[in-house]
Amino acid sequence: MAKNKYDFTIEQLGPCKIKSPIELSTVVGDACANYVVDTSFVRNRINVFSTEEPNDVDETNLLQKAGPREYIYFDPKKVKAGICTCGGLCPGLNDVIRAVVRCLWNRYGVRDIVGFQYGYKGLFEDSGFDPVPLNPEIVDEIHKIGGSYLGSSRGGGDRLETDGVKTIERLGINMMFVIGGDGTQRGASDLADAITKKGLECAVVGIPKTVDNDFKFIDRSFGFETAVQQAKEAIASMHMEAHSQYNCVSLVKLMGRESGFIAAAAALASHEVNFCLIPEVPFDMEGPNGFLANLEKRLEKRHHALIVVAEGAGQELMQSTNQTDASGNKRLSDIGIYLRDAIKSYFAKRNIPLDLKYCDPSYQIRSAVTTASDSIYCERLGNNAAHAAMAGKTKMVVGLVHDKFVYIPTKMATLSRNVVDPEGSLWRDTLDATSQPIFMVNDVEKAKKIMKEKLGL
Residues with catalytic function: 212
Provide the CA 427 distance to its chain's centre, in angstroms. Answer: 19
Question: From CA 389, how far away is CA 73, in angstroms rounded?
Answer: 8
Torsion, Cα 365 366 369 373, to 10 degrees, reads 80
For residue 414, the tally of other CB atoms under 10 A from its CB is 23
Which amino acid, 197?
K
- Residues 301 and 274: their CA atoms lie apart, in Å, by 12
> Could you give the CA distance from residue 240 to residue 245 in angstroms, rounded to a whole number?
9
| CA distances (Å), origin 233, targets 144, 220, 361 | 20, 21, 10
- Residue 362 neighbours by CB under 8 Å, 6+ apart: 253, 254, 255, 311
Residues in a beta bridge with 330: 324
CB 308, CB 264: distance < 8 Å: no
As to burial, measured by CB atoms within 10 angstroms (0-12 exposed, 13-18 middle, 19+ buried), residue 203 is: buried
What DSSP letter does each residue of 390-433 carry, written as one string? HTTEESEEEEEETTEEEEEEHHHHTSSB----TTSHHHHHHHHH
d(CA 310, CA 324): 19
Q: Residues with Cβ < 8 Å from 186, sequence gap 6 or more?
A: 157, 410, 414
Question: Taking a C-beta distance cutoff of 8 angstroms, is the pair 296, 265 a contact?
Answer: no
Within 8 A by CB and 6+ apart from 28, the residues are 34
Residue among 258, 262, 256, 253 nearest 226 (CA)? 262
Q: How many CB atoms lie within 10 A of CB 76?
A: 18
Cβ-in-10-Å burial (0-12, 13-18, 19+) of 1 comes to: exposed
Give the number of other CB atoms < 10 A from CB of residue 88. Answer: 20
Residue 43, phi then psi, degrees to nearest 5: -70, 135
